[in-house]
Amino acid sequence: SYELTQPHSVSVALGQTATISCGGRDIGSKSVHWYRQMPGQAPALVIYNNTERLSGIPERFSASNSGNTATLSVSGAQDGDEAAYYCQVWDSKAPGAVFGGGTKLTVL
């Protein structure tokens, strides 16, 4: 079955750029979606189809996807960006949605 690997946690200094990776076999050939989850809330879509920001998501959030790694970047990190971030793809062979294990972003 298809698997996505994310770092358990990422720390970033206030105002700096955080990078969260999502590794998967030939993930560059798939559409990757990113979700942000605040404590006690449901996940919320942030980036879809590799690079598209959902309406209302600031330009500080960007993403890329190539080869075996997709990446979510958060520039000018703010306290409000602290959350868990998940990547997700659709596995057509399963079929089904596959989520990464999630990355806890901490802003120092």
Partner 1 sequence: QLVQSGAEVRKPGASVRVSCKASGYTFTNHFMHWVRQDSGQGLEWLGIINPRGGRAVYAKNFQGRLTMTTDTSRTTVYMELKSLRADDTAVYFCAVDPFDYWGQGTPVTVSS
Check binding of 84 to partner 1 (CB under 8 A): yes
**Contact string 31-60 vs partner 1 (x = CB under 8 A):** --x-x------xxxx--x-----x------
- By CB neighbour count within 10 A (0-12 exposed, 13-18 middle, 19+ buried), where does 69 fall? middle
Torsion region of 49: left, alpha or beta (phi above 0 gives left; psi -120 to 50 gives alpha)? left
Q: What are phi and psi of 55, to 5 degrees?
A: -55, 130
Check binding of 95 to partner 1 (CB under 8 A): yes
Are the C-beta atoms of 77 and 16 separated by less than 8 Å? Answer: yes
Listed ranges 11-19, 60-68, 71-79, 82-90: which one lies at the site for partner 1 (CB under 8 A)? 82-90
CB of 104 to partner 1, least distance (A): 8
Q: Which residues make up the interface to partner 1 (CB under 8 A)? A: 33, 35, 42-45, 48, 54, 84, 86, 88, 94-99, 101-102
